[in-house]
Structure 1
Amino acid sequence: MSVSDSASAEAPAERASVKSAAYEKFRQALFDGRLRPGQFVSQRELVALLGLSIGALRELLPRLELEGLLRVMPQRGIQITQIDLPMIRQAFQMRMALEREAVLTAVRKLDDAVLDEQEALHRAIVDEVRTNPSPNLFERGQQVDDGFHALLIATTQNDLLAQAYAVNAIRIRLIKLDRVTLSAGVLPAAFADHLAIIAAIRSRDAHAAIDAMDRHMMNARERALEL
């Protein structure tokens, strides 16, 4: 292969890597609060904020708009997605549909050893809430929470489902940041839901697992809608 042929072969991979890095920069800006739900920004402001070239941003915008993470509005600029009641309902409905399939797969495939590990992680966090919470407890609790749901999704080994989940997970994370985060009042109830799901999966009871997941999704949605 000639030098020019090699460069041509590498170009698509390099472009994909640049697009992926730009997407991650946008995601992190949402999560750390530099971009806020409902906020209007110009392309120039977004370029400066994310450290992107204008070309990279313009390539990224169609994907972000398609995924419902922003809207490009002529004469007004770019609006980051708003957290409102329809958005909350739709995001949780999407999450319920995806995680129902995931929990059904987990009933068939997830090893008891993995379930034991998840149960231990959850119980350790709950015990710490009740005894002597450390400063980073709720951050670690959020990692356990995210990790549990990601594990269920990964168990499906379905790339299309995983991609849909990843996009919706950004919406769910924004809802949590805007409306309700893990706290001494919220965490034990949320983790009790998780432990019920784990118990149902361990018993290989598909109906109980779906019921437990549905209750968890409805409880999470109601906490978000209450505020």
Structure 2
Amino acid sequence: MTAAADRTALTPAETPLKKAAYDRFKQALLQGRLRPGQVVSQKELVALLDMSVGALRELLPRLEAEGLLHVMPKRGIQITSIDLPMIRDAFQMRMALEREAVLSAIRKMPDAVLEAEERRHREILDQLTALGDPPPAFFDAGQDVDSAFHDRLITDTGNDLMIQAYNVNTIRIRLIKLDRIRLTRLTLPSAFADHLAVIAALKARDAAAAILAIETHVRNARDRAIEL
């Protein structure tokens, strides 16, 4: 679970059982057991998620409202597809949220936290240089550092509405990454260079530079996803 997800309390209408059902669906998506664009029956989804029909029926309106699936009467349930409109919308939402997050970080994020983030990024870059042929686990570790940085930016705003919107949008972003923009020897250096530019601007308490850096980073990620 991400730091941002940990920060978010249950909404007034969300019971622990409803949250557990939602988390099962999310994990099925992120583990590839449900694929973007896939059409499944209600019976198949109940079996896959190991939940009751009643629990699934309570969950479906939320998932549909969040744009994670589409219920097609008498035809099944379609998992959201990764297409150009979805990619553009997801990254536009990400840019809006993270622009506000860096403005908050300018005011509130301690230098010690920024320096720790910088060290983590540089350690990964140094390891990449030292390793001739990094194993998949190395890029998984790099992705964890990448995701944790974005999670911290949002979490440290302390704004629960932003955190909830970010958590939903992050599912879409992670699906796009799994499908199109996994970190590799070629993409990791540029992604981490973008992060380091954001961190440098935050350390300098330069709001204009921080906004430019985060917008550049999100735009670069969006463009890599669209190009593939």
1:66 aligned residue? 65
TM-score by length of 1: 0.93
Q: Which amino acid aligns with 1:82?
A: S
Determine if the alignment matches structure 1 residue 188 to structure 2 residue 219: no
Query: Matches of 2:152 and 2:143 in 1, distance apart?
Result: 14
Q: Residue 160 of structure 1: CA displacement?
A: 0.3
**Per-residue Cα deviation, 1:122-166 (whole angstroms, up to 9, x for no partner):** 011111111113441111111111100000001110000000000
2:9 aligned residue? none
> What runs of 5+ residues in structure 1 fail to find an aligned partner?
1-12
1:94 aligned residue? 93
Superposition map of 1:41-190 within 5 A: 41-132=40-131, 133-190=134-191
Give the secondary-structure state (helix, strand or coil) at the position aligned to 2:215. helix
1:209 aligned residue? 210
1:21 aligned residue? 20
Q: Which amino acid aligns with 1:214?
A: E
Q: Which amino acid aligns with 2:187?
A: V
Q: Which amino acid aligns with 1:160?
A: L
Q: Residue 87 of structure 1: CA displacement?
A: 0.4
1:3 aligned residue? none
Query: Matches of 2:104 and 2:181 in 1, distance apart?
Result: 29
Query: Matches of 1:21 and 1:46 in 2, distance apart?
Result: 15
Q: Which amino acid aligns with 2:90?
A: A
123-132 or 200-209: which moved more? 123-132
Query: Matches of 2:27 and 2:155 in 1, distance apart?
Result: 22
State percent identity of aligned pairs.
Answer: 65
* Runs of 4+ deviating beyond 6 Å: none
Query: Matches of 2:126 and 2:137 in 1, distance apart?
Result: 14
Give the secondary-structure state (helix, strand or coil) at the position aligned to 1:214. helix
Q: Which amino acid aligns with 1:19?
A: K
Query: Matches of 1:112 and 1:175 in 2, distance apart?
Result: 32
1:7 aligned residue? none
Q: Which amino acid aligns with 2:127?
A: E
TM-score by length of 2: 0.92
Give the secondary-structure state (helix, strand or coil) at the position aligned to 2:32. coil
Q: Which amino acid aligns with 1:54?
A: V
Aligned length: 216
1:36 aligned residue? 35
Q: Which has the larger radius of gyration?
A: 1
Query: Matches of 1:199 and 1:36 in 2, distance apart?
Result: 38
1:221 aligned residue? 222
Cα RMSD over matched residues?
1.5
